[in-house]
Chain A
Amino acid sequence: SQQGEEDPQALSIQEGENATMNCSYKTSINNLQWYRQNSGRGLVHLILIRSNEREKHSGRLRVTLDTSKKSSSLLITASRAADTASYFCATVGAQKLVFGQGTRLTINP
């Protein structure tokens, strides 16, 4: 299975702190994507990093990719209460995205 597995499963931090979530996967990839899901809502695309990229930024988000270790990390800097959500990494296979179990992030005010 190529699916990504996020670590930790749950993370609770204080507002203003940085949050780091990790993702590991098993097979070679074309790209890796991170999505966010608010409780009971659909998934929203956050950022895509291609297999030949090592780091990418988007606003308060920083994603790294280490293809030799088959791992990625998502860093959210200066967290806000509104960042409370589940975060999923998704690896791209031939025809589809495959999602991991997700990290449940709680930002405490």
Chain B
Amino acid sequence: EPEVTQTPSHQVTQMGQEVILRCVPISNHLYFYWYRQILGQKVEFLVSFYNNEISEKSEIFDDQFSVERPDGSNFTLKIRSTKLEDSAMYFCASSDLSQTGELFFGEGSRLTVL
């Protein structure tokens, strides 16, 4: 069964360092998302991406964040200068033709900022 894969599963970084989280969405999907979940809290929307551009972003997704689909298969989330409060699980998701349909989530990348 097709699945969304994310790497790394866990990354530990120092405050101020750049981090890139990688995702391989399901191959025929057209809509891509990043969500994050701070430990014990709800899943928060960060950004949606369609047709090689951001279609919507939340207040959390400030200038420190960027997304890219560099090669038609990978979908990356970059945090330019990490802060302690960026520590969270980051989930990538994709969906097919409809933005309002089912989302398929990866297993997440746990980011720990020290």
- Complex CA gap A17/B10 in Å reads 37
* Given known A95-B48, A101-B42, contact A48–B101 (CB-CB < 8 A): yes
Q: Tell me the count of chain B residues lying within 8 A, CB to CB, of chain A.
A: 24
| Consensus secondary structure, chain B interface | strand
A-B CB pair tally, cutoff 8 Å:
54
Contact B42 A43 (CB under 8 A): no
- Measured as residues with beta carbon below 8 angstroms from the partner, the interface class of chain A is 20 to 34
Minimum CB–CB distance from A55 to chain B (whole Å) comes to: 19
| Consensus secondary structure, chain A interface | strand
- Complex CA gap A44/B4 in Å reads 11
| Residues in chain A near residue B105, CB distance under 8 A | 35, 42-44
Minimum CB–CB distance from A79 to chain B (whole Å) comes to: 23
Contact B100 A30 (CB under 8 A): yes
B12 sits at the interface (CB 8 A): no
B residues sitting closer than 8 Å to A (CB atoms) are 4, 33, 35, 41-45, 48, 55-56, 89, 91, 93, 99-108
